[in-house]
Amino acid sequence: YFQARLAGASNSTARILSTNHTGPEDAFNFNNWVTLLSQLPLLLFTLLNSFLYQFSAVLQGSLFGQLGTMPSTYSTLFLSGQGLAGIFAALAMLLSMASGVDAETSALGYFITPCVGILMSIVCYLSLPHLKFARYYLANKPSQGQAQELETKAELLQSDENGIPSSPQKVALTLDLDLEKEPESEPDEPQKPGKPSVFTVFQKIWLTALCLVLVFTVTLSVFPAITAMVTSSTSPGKWSQFFNPICCFLLFNIMDWLGRSLTSYFLWPDEDSRLLPLLVCLRFLFVPLFMLCHVPQRSRLPILFPQDAYFITFMLLFAVSNGYLVSLTMCLAPRQVLPHEREVAGALMTFFLALGLSCGASLSFLFKALL
């Protein structure tokens, strides 16, 4: 829709472009710019959020900060929800293409849908303080000993007698019953620690934060700026028309969601292992692999992987590794700090998440120019 607007195309031309399996030529680098400009405000405000995290509770950074005070299972569920949102967006694209509606109608639907989603999110967020389990962690701020004890209980309750994971709702209900039995205060309760230092927390999680930055740098440097340009090597037809929406966007979001969900069952490697940085660095191999796939609009690099199967295989590994490593680093960071520092650690990790997104979006200009 926007590429047609930038090209000054009429409505009929826009409809032709929307059904062309190769798509319009991206002369304005629109995919690169929209990716970069959508991340810069997030980067700025998560930076502010790392230092002023009590004033901006509706920001994504504060949500991660609040999750840092809870058992790691809830961070995994939060990240899985983000993956499901990506699947929903990809399905919306496919439905729009299959319905055959014009570009203006599709654009209107795309603008209305996020407004409804944001409204639902606000309602859910406002209802959060009414949940006893969330109210205990967010309002009462348990002491260090209590937080460690409750987290241990939550992790033990994740498995039943057969080793099958239980639902987080069951865990929350069980902990709620325990909280009702506990006295409101103990006469010899230790004093609450002071406000944690951002620099001190950063010293403890810097390696995990760097891994998160590198994961998103690789991902955003080629997705979607490069991967959206890959076309099917088969003859024009229905498969060619739906190849990129299915094999690029839908496949990425499904496998990314699966990767994020895997951390509900195991966390490997752990926070003390040096294998995590190695796995993260290996993902840089995806950059040349995607750049050498079937992208017709190129003038420098050759096409070494023209078949569709290559691109699909690369995308499967690319998406699963992205989802798993993102969720893993976000879950490991709160484990590396003291309980009263976990909220700051969560907010800091969100800043580095945004930093990785911005770095990747910036590098996408370079990689696209090298094609």
Return d(Cα 42, Cα 142) in angstroms, integer.
30
| Residue 361 reports pLDDT greater than 70 | yes
Report pLDDT for 323: 95
346 within 8 A of 66, measured Cβ to Cβ: yes
pLDDT of 230 over the 50 cut: yes
Q: Cβ distance 90 to 319 under 8 Å?
A: no
Residue 56 lies in a domain: yes
What is the pTM for the complete model shown? 0.73
pLDDT of residue 144: 46
Does any domain span residue 296? yes
Q: So what's the pLDDT on residue 290? A: 97
Name the β-bridge partners of 305: 293
254 domain-assigned: yes
Please compute the mean of the pLDDT values over residues 250-255 and round it to a whole number. Answer: 96
Q: How many domains does the chain have?
A: 1
* CB contact at 8 A, 56 and 45: yes
111 in a domain, yes or no? no
- Locate tokens 């950059």: which residue? 287
For the cut 50, the answer to whether the pLDDT of residue 238 exceeds it is yes
Residue 30 maps to a domain: no
Is the pLDDT at 221 greater than 90, yes or no?
yes
Instruction: Tell me what the mean pLDDT of segment 269-281 comes to.
Output: 90
pLDDT at 21: 43
Share of the chain above pLDDT 90, in %: 37
What is the pLDDT at residue 293? 96
> What pLDDT, on a 0 to 100 scale, did the predictor assign at position 340?
86
Residue 248: inside a domain, yes or no?
yes
Task: Please check whether residue 6 lies inside any domain of the structure.
Answer: no
- For residue 299, give both structure tokens: 């003038």
What range defines the domain where residue 354 resides? 36-99+131-136+198-370
What pLDDT sits at residue 343? 81
The whole-number pLDDT of residue 184 equals: 47
- The torsion of the CA quartet 359, 365, 367, 371, rounded to 10 degrees, works out to 170
| Concatenated DSSP letters of 275-343 | HHHHHHHHGGGHHHHHHTBS-SS-SSS--SB-SHHHHHHHHHHHHHHHHHHHHHHHHHGGGGS-GGGHH
As a whole number, mean pLDDT of residues 28-35 equals 85
pLDDT at 5 over 50: yes
The residue among 89, 15, 369 whose CA lies nearest residue 225 is: 369
pLDDT band, very low/low/confident/very high, at 232 (cuts 50, 70, 90): very high
| pLDDT tens readout for residues 158-199 | 544 444 444 544 544 454 445 444 444 444 444 556 778 889
Tell me, yes or no, whether 2 lies in a domain. no
Decide if pLDDT at 247 tops 80: yes
pLDDT digits (tens, 9 = 90+) for 318-351: 999 999 999 999 989 988 999 888 888 888 898 8
Contacts of 56 (CB under 8 A, 6+ apart): 45, 48, 49, 62
Taking residues 137-163, report their average pLDDT.
51
